[in-house]
């Protein structure tokens, strides 16, 4: 293989050994903490613990004010992220937020007489520079790591962000209960100094030179709207933006009603409110750890589907605590379980949306597309919090139960729609798409399967795939490594009788073969498969080859190839641990690798008679092509006999 071949992901350095990622990760976490430490102090200035105050309305107004700049400035922030050094934009945003927080008490004093929204107006200034920070951070991340690490990286970033939010809630609640609000504001300002220091130590790669063909976008309006045009032109991008909007709409409603539930149903104080917000963060931590553990075994589109459904389940459990006839302490425990579940699955949605956008959007547009993402997500947030905070509701807190139920139903429906779309868009029938994705997940997570190189199997037309055979899971490895084709295997007849496996084998048109017999029916069925343009897989060694076992090559591969002219694709499977026995092979954790080779050139046999010697020579050439794919440290050493007729 050439030196330009892509290094297998399991051989790449981990994220936690990447200095630039660690610095960005820490800077984001500290900055996220700074965005939330002052919230409890602001609520204290509004006497939020007074039962006569509608705390849901106060939370909604506070959230609304902070995120308005995200909606209004996101296109400009995205443009700056694409045109200026992204690290510099983030450092400037941190420095200015620090200055604003140092004078925050004065700003509140100036605006508190501006009506019911006045005390929250200073949050506009903080949100303005947080809006500049967001797309720059999202656009910078893919330049620091490899693409197959994106979902894990976004999971870690989302998890740390919520850890920071959880810490901010705890610190903010503690400070609000014991000190004047100015103390919280000063502590908050210090967090942005620390974030800027981490960013100063970061050494990102130089920005991409601007493409000369981009001159059509030089006008200010063209620059600002390029992200919207890009999203509109790419179906998967705008679908991800819709998912982000739905999730942020529902999440904002849940976040706004948590204080009312804690205060009115559980009888909690500021500290208790902070605890439940921290429990959401605990769920995010669990979700981030889960995503990091699963790694590239978890496809981002699958994570979105199950994340939405799991989030709906968690919100439903939380909603049940409003209606159950039980003691407040019992209801508090039920609610705690619900918010942890919601947080666990919520991080999967956010991390997966971000990773798919980072993976699919060109670097020159990435900042502006993330600006559009911020417009969509914060627009949904503003609608949600505006519905709660703008109208002059009377005792809105009494409606927290129906609000939570509505959010659960909405996100569940969204999850089911994404499941339907994903299965229908796959290369196969919906049920087969589901089975293939399930097999791919198990192969990558449990057997730690990796494919080295590209898939050389043609997407259409007859083809024969053949490889070595060392483990009972080998067929599942090949299917997971080449999900674009339905591969029909020649399998032992007894496998077709197994309850669960038999259904899958029938779905992929596998051909049963009785061991120890010359069954011409299987050969004829394989010929029919190939003449109808299907893919057939045959293990040239016949059965599983255990260490020291004599290899007796089978002529079936060469015979079918010479009769039909179907191309033969060799493959080599390595990294398996041989335990002996089908069940033990399936339960063992391997480090399986699959490598596909180029089609075997059998043209030298075209003009030769189909005698046994010709078929055996072709068999030998096919087997040599398989062995040529073996890793240098794993050369086959089994004794080899002549091919069987």
List the CATH number of the domain containing 276: 1.20.1250.20
The long-range contacts involving 12-16, CB below 8 angstroms and separated by at least 24 positions, are 12/146, 12/149, 15/145, 15/149, 15/152, 15/153, 15/156
pTM above 0.75, yes or no: no
**Average pLDDT score over residue span 619-642:** 75
Asked, for residue 581, whether it belongs to a domain, the answer is yes
Could you tell me if 598 and 491 lie in one domain?
yes
List Cβ neighbours of 221 (8 Å cut-off, separation of 6 or more): none
The total number of structural domains in the chain stands at 2
Asked, for residue 399, whether it belongs to a domain, the answer is yes
Query: At 516, is the pLDDT very low, low, confident or very high (cuts 50, 70, 90)?
Result: low
Pick the range with the lowest mean pLDDT from 211-220, 465-474, 497-506, 544-553.
Answer: 211-220
Query: At 121, is the pLDDT very low, low, confident or very high (cuts 50, 70, 90)?
Result: confident
Final residue before a domain boundary, out of 404, 425, 446: 425
Structure tokens that stand for 104 in this block: 């925050």
Residue keyed to tokens 């790591």: 145
Asked, for residue 480, whether it belongs to a domain, the answer is yes
**How far, in Å, CA of 505 to CA of 496, rounded?**
7
pLDDT at 335: 92
What is the pairing mode between strands 568-574 and 535-539? unpaired
For residue 403, the number of C-alpha atoms closer than 13 Å in the C-beta half-sphere is: 22
Final residue before a domain boundary, out of 425, 442, 474: 425
pLDDT at 547: 67
pLDDT at 331: 92
Asked, for residue 1, whether it belongs to a domain, the answer is no
Local structure of 532: helix, strand or coil: coil
Asked, for residue 492, whether it belongs to a domain, the answer is yes
Query: At 91, is the pLDDT very low, low, confident or very high (cuts 50, 70, 90)?
Result: very high
Could you tell me if 332 and 409 lie in one domain?
yes
Asked, for residue 123, whether it belongs to a domain, the answer is yes
Q: Where are the alpha helices (DSSP H) in 219-299?
A: 220-233, 235-260, 270-294
Could you tell me if 57 and 180 lie in one domain?
yes
Query: At 640, is the pLDDT very low, low, confident or very high (cuts 50, 70, 90)?
Result: low
**Average pLDDT score over residue span 495-518:** 71
Could you tell me if 403 and 495 lie in one domain?
no
**Average pLDDT score over residue span 168-188:** 83
pLDDT at 106: 85
Could you tell me if 161 and 299 lie in one domain?
yes
Q: Where are the beta strands (DSSP E) in 431-483?
A: 450-452, 463-467
Could you tell me if 323 and 437 lie in one domain?
no
Quick: pLDDT tens for 21-48: 999 998 998 888 888 888 888 888 777 7
Q: Where are the alpha helices (DSSP H) in 295-399?
A: 300-323, 328-360, 363-389
Asked, for residue 462, whether it belongs to a domain, the answer is yes
Structure tokens that stand for 488 in this block: 């029909």
Of residues 311 and 603, the one with the higher pLDDT is: 311
Buried b (16+ CB within 10 A) or exposed e, 396-435: bbeebbebbbebbebbbebbeebbeebbeebebeeebbeb
Pick the range with the lowest mean pLDDT from 74-83, 84-93, 270-279, 536-545.
Answer: 270-279
Could you tell me if 351 and 486 lie in one domain?
no
Could you tell me if 246 and 356 lie in one domain?
yes
Could you tell me if 159 and 256 lie in one domain?
yes
**Average pLDDT score over residue span 182-201:** 91
Could you tell me if 379 and 477 lie in one domain?
no
Final residue before a domain boundary, out of 390, 425, 460: 425
Could you tell me if 157 and 269 lie in one domain?
yes
Radius of gyration over every alpha carbon of the chain, rounded to an integer in angstroms: 30
Residue 211: φ, ψ to 5° = -65, 125
Q: How much is the mean pLDDT over the chain? A: 83
**How far, in Å, CA of 392 to CA of 159, rounded?**
36
Candidate ranges 3-12, 82-91, 580-589; pick with highest mean pLDDT: 82-91
Could you tell me if 534 and 420 lie in one domain?
no
pLDDT at 1: 35
**Average pLDDT score over residue span 97-104:** 89
Asked, for residue 140, whether it belongs to a domain, the answer is yes
What is the pairing mode between strands 463-467 and 535-539? parallel
In contact, 456 and 569? CB cutoff 8 Å: yes
Domain hosting residue 399, numbered range: 16-203+224-425
Candidate ranges 40-49, 160-169, 207-216, 432-441; pick with highest mean pLDDT: 432-441
Greatest CA separation for the chain: 99
Q: Which residues pair with 488 in a beta bridge?
A: 536
């Amino acid at each position: 293989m050439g030196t330009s071949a892509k290094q297998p992901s399991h051989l790449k350095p981990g994220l936690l050994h990447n200095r630039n990622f660690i610095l960005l990760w820490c800077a984001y976490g500290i900055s996220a903490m700074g965005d939330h430490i002052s919230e409890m102090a602001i609520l204290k200035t509004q006497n939020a613990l007074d039962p006569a105050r509608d705390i849901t309305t106060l939370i909604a107004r506070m959230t609304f004010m902070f995120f308005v700049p995200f909606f209004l400035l996101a296109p400009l922030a995205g443009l700056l992220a694409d045109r200026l050094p992204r690290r510099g934009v983030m450092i400037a945003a941190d420095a200015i937020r620090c200055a604003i927080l140092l004078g925050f008490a004065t700003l509140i004093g100036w605006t508190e007489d501006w009506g019911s929204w006045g005390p929250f107006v200073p949050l506009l200034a903080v949100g303005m520079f947080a809006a500049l920070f967001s797309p720059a951070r999202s656009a910078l991340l893919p330049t620091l790591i490899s693409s197959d690490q994106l979902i894990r990286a976004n999971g870690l970033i989302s998890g740390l962000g919520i850890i920071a939010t959880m810490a901010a809630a705890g610190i903010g609640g503690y400070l609000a209960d014991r000190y004047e609000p100015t103390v919280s504001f000063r502590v908050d300002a210090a967090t942005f100094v620390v974030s800027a220091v981490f960013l100063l130590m970061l050494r990102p790669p130089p920005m991409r030179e601007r493409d000369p063909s981009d001159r059509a976008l030089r006008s200010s309006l063209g620059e600002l709207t390029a992200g919207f045009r890009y999203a509109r032109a790419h179906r998967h991008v705008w679908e991800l933006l819709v998912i982000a909007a739905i999730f942020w709409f529902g999440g904002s409603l849940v976040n706004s009603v948590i204080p009312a539930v804690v205060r009115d149903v559980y009888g909690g104080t500021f500290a208790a409110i902070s605890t439940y917000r921290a429990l959401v963060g605990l769920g995010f931590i669990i979700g981030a750890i889960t995503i990091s553990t699963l790694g590239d075994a978890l496809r981002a589109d699958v994570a979105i589907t199950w994340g939405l459904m799991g989030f709906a389940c968690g919100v439903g459990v939380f909603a049940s605590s409003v209606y159950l006839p039980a003691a407040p302490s019992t209801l508090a425990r039920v609610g705690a379980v619900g918010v942890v579940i919601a947080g666990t699955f919520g991080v999967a949605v956010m991390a997966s949306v971000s990773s798919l956008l980072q993976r699919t959007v060109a670097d020159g547009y990435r900042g502006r597309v993330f600006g559009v993402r911020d417009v969509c997500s914060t627009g949904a947030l503003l609608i949600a919090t505006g519905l709660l905070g703008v109208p002059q509701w009377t005792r809105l807190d009494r409606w927290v139960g129906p609000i939570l139920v509505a959010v659960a139903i909405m996100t569940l429906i969204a999850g089911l729609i994404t499941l339907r779309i994903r299965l229908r868009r796959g290369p196969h029938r919906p049920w087969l798409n589901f089975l293939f994705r399930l097999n791919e997940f198990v192969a990558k997570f449990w057997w730690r399967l990796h494919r080295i190189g590209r898939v050389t199997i043609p997407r259409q037309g007859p083809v024969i795939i053949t490889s070595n055979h060392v483990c009972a899971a080998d067929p599942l490895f090949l299917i997971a490594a080449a999900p674009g084709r339905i591969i029909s295997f020649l399998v032992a007849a007894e496998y077709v009788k197994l309850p669960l496996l038999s259904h899958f084998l029938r779905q992929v048109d596998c051909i049963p073969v009785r061991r120890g017999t010359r069954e011409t029916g299987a050969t004829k069925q394989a010929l029919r498969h190939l003449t109808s343009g299907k893919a057939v897989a045959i293990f040239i060694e016949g059965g599983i080859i255990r260490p020291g076992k004599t290899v007796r090559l089978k002529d079936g591969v060469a015979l079918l190839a010479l009769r039909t002219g179907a191309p033969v694709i060799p493959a080599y499977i390595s990294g398996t641990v041989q335990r002996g026995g089908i069940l033990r092979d399936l339960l063992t954790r391997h480090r399986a690798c699959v490598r596909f080779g180029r089609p075997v050139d059998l043209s030298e046999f075209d003009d030769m008679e189909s005698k046994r010697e010709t078929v055996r020579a072709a068999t030998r050439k096919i087997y040599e092509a398989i062995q040529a794919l073996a890793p240098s440290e794993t050369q086959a050493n089994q004794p080899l006999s002549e091919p069987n007729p």
